[in-house]
Structure 1
Amino acid sequence: MRPDGPRDPVAGSDDGPSAPYPIRLSGPVIKGFGRGSKELGIPTANIPAEGLDEYPDLSVGVYYGVVALDPARFAYEDDAPILPAVLSIGYNPFYKNKTKSIEIHIMPPLSAPSPTATADGPVTFHKLPDFYGTPLRLLILGYIRPEFDYVSLDALVEDIRVDCEVARRSLQRPAYASYLAAGRADEEDVRGQTSWLTGFES
């Protein structure tokens, strides 16, 4: 069960990602368990979990990072090539999944208002049109927390809402925000990562 007590507002060092991050994962967006949008109201983009074979020591849990979708298949309305994301890797103890999955919730640009900023009233999560089959690339930049079981669906949704806010605040720090600035990053290693992220073949 999730431990009691307040959550940390950010995750990871203010100096930027440290080993083993950034971690690269990619694949076509596939159908998941069908619960994200329908039952939880939290749209997710799932990609095949086989890419995790390259990272056998990666813990299950919740992470934050940045994603890009192949613009030949999906164009974001604000023409933002890289978007912030929060994701889970694991088995989701609340649902007792038997297979490991990668479930990515793509958030709006950090310059846009956050739909998950407050728990007052109905909670809404960012939703994009369906893009099954679209190639997706993901850079994991940090770890937020382990997986937990929950006493109720509402408790699970609230913790995911907080995950979104932790991810947003973590990515707003300068050392992480540079990963969202395709073609404008100052450091060579960050430019290399964002070039890979957006380097879809036409």
Structure 2
Amino acid sequence: MSLEAPYPVYIASHVIGGFGRGSSELGIPTANIPSEDLLASAIPHGKTGIYFGFCKISGTYGTLTRRDTPADDGETKRPPENEITSLEAPIGEEDGGVLPMVMSLGWNPFYGNSEPSAEVHVVHKFSQQFYGARIKLAVLGYIRPESNFVSVEALIDEIMHDIQVAKDKLAQPEIKKVAEEEFWKD
């Protein structure tokens, strides 16, 4: 498999707080990044959906304090107001490598978001939270468009399938080479 235009798309950003559903409700934590950073990239505008690639987290670990912000209808459908606190501890070697990722870009139809989000699931178990850290992404391809689901379980099943698709694609020799590029050096 070889990469097709416009991929790879390289993005440098930082981790922000999101809705908090990835870890708590789905058991699949995500690193959220400002959606405008993705919109400013070479990812085709308006092409929401699920993408795959590699990412690297660097900087310091950080925690998050959430304050829910109600939407106009009284429900929380926008990301909460968040306060990030740096732990002053550098991201460790075990967490700071180039790692596989699956990214959702869009409106999350299952949750009915009122604003788009960019949520990166890094296929790795981190030792600590890393809110506020730097994140580099190499988006290497598109898996599927956004979908709505009949249940949380169906959503989780599809995410797990997306993760497996990403792992399979990232294991291919042509794609794997991207993890060794100069882009990843800090």
Task: Say whether the fold is shared (TM-score over 0.5).
Answer: yes
Distance 1:160 1:95, change over 3 A: same
Structure 2's unaligned 5+ residue stretches are: 61-89
Distance 1:23 1:179, change over 3 A: same
Q: Provide the residue aligned with 2:116 in structure 1.
A: 100
Whole-angstrom distance in 2 between the partners of 1:90 and 1:129: 27
1:123-142 aligned within 5 A: 126-142=125-141
Q: Provide the residue aligned with 2:35 in structure 1.
A: 49
Whole-angstrom distance in 2 between the partners of 1:67 and 1:58: 22
Tell me the matched-pair count. Answer: 155
TM-score (norm 2): 0.77
State the 1:75 CA deviation: 2.1
Q: Provide the residue aligned with 2:174 in structure 1.
A: 175
Structure 1's unaligned 5+ residue stretches are: 1-13, 109-125, 183-193
Whole-angstrom distance in 1 between the partners of 2:131 and 2:46: 26
TM-score (norm 1): 0.71
Structure 1 residue matching 2:165: 3-state secondary structure: helix
Give CA-to-partner distance per residue, 1:104-151, whole Å, 9 cap, x none.
Answer: 01113xxxxxxxxxxxxxxxxx45520001100101000000000000
State the 1:81 CA deviation: 2.2
Q: Provide the residue aligned with 1:69 in structure 2.
A: 57
Note if contact 2:58-2:96 (Cα within 8 Å) is conserved in structure 1. Answer: no
State the 1:53 CA deviation: 3.0
Structure 2 residue matching 1:64: 3-state secondary structure: strand
Moved over 3 A (4+): none
State the 1:43 CA deviation: 0.6
Structure 2 residue matching 1:32: 3-state secondary structure: coil
| RMSD, matched Cα | 1.7
Whole-angstrom distance in 2 between the partners of 1:135 and 1:38: 23
More strand per residue: 2
**One-letter code of the match for 1:60?**
T
Whole-angstrom distance in 1 between the partners of 2:15 and 2:128: 12
Structure 1 residue matching 2:10: 3-state secondary structure: strand
Whole-angstrom distance in 2 between the partners of 1:59 and 1:128: 33
Whole-angstrom distance in 2 between the partners of 1:58 and 1:175: 28
| More moved, 50-59 vs 157-166 | 50-59
